[in-house]
Chain A
C-alpha cells in the first residue's frame, strides 16, 4: 500500500485545480492508498468559513473537504504559517490539523508519492 501526500497550494474558486486534486485523492483512497492532504499557501483558503459555491453555480470546496473522511481520508493537515499570514477564518469542523514546517517536512519524507498538482 502506497502512502500518498496531496499538497494543495491553490485557492478554492480561482481555478478547478483543487477539485481535480481532491477527486484524485479520493480515487487514490478508493484504490487502497493511505492518503494525507496538506493545504499550504493559498490552499488554506479552502478552509475559510461561510463559503458558498452556489453563488458561482459550482460546488462548495469546504463541503467537498468535509466529505473526505467518508473516503477514509482522515490525515488532514494545514500549514500553520500560511494560515497565520492570511488570517483565515477557519472552519474548525473540517478537522484539519495545523502543522509547522518540520512536521510538513516529515510528512513529505514519510510519503511514497507526493502529488503537487500545481498546473
Chain B
C-alpha cells in the first residue's frame, strides 16, 4: 500500500515525530511505500539545519532518524507557507527575502500545499501526527 504522512508537532516539544518515525519505519519493514512525509504547522521546525538534540533525550536524535528515512528514498516535504514564516528558508527564499543565511536542512525540501494533496491523492492511506 501507499501511505502519505503528515507531522504537525515541533521537535522535542511534542511526540509527533517519534510516532511518525516509528510508524514510517514499521511501514517500510512491512513492505509498504511512503509517497511523502509532509511537515505542516509547527512540524516545519524539524527541517531546520541547526538542531542540537537535548542530552535529556538519550539515544534520540530526530534529525539523524529523518536523515536515515531520507537516505532510504523517503521524500520529506515542508510546507513553504508554514515554513518561511517560522524562519525555515532555502537558498532561493534566503535571497528573495534578503536573509543572512539559509536554514533548511539538506534532508528536507520546501514545497507548496499542492504537494500534500498530491501525495494524499496518490496514497491509499493518510495518517496525521498532531502536536
In the complex, A touching B, CB below 8 Å? yes
Chain A neighbourhood of B43, CB < 8 A: 119
- Identify the closest chain B residue to A17 (Cβ): B41
With A and B bound together, what is the CA distance between A23 and B82 in angstroms? 11
Q: Contact between A119 and B9 (Cβ–Cβ < 8 Å)?
A: yes
Interface size range on A against B: 10 to 19
Number of chain B residues close to chain A: CB under 8 A: 21
Query: Is there a chain B Cβ closer than 8 Å to A65's Cβ?
Result: no
Least Cβ distance of B112 to chain A in Å?
8
B residues within 8 Å of A by Cβ? 8-9, 40-43, 79, 81-82, 112-114, 116-118, 120-121, 126, 128, 130-131
- Contacts A24-B116, A24-B117, A113-B120 supplied; 6 other A-B pairs, CB < 8 Å: A17-B41, A20-B40, A27-B116, A113-B126, A115-B126, A117-B128
A residues within 8 Å of B by Cβ? 2, 4, 17, 20, 23-24, 27-28, 30-31, 33, 113-119
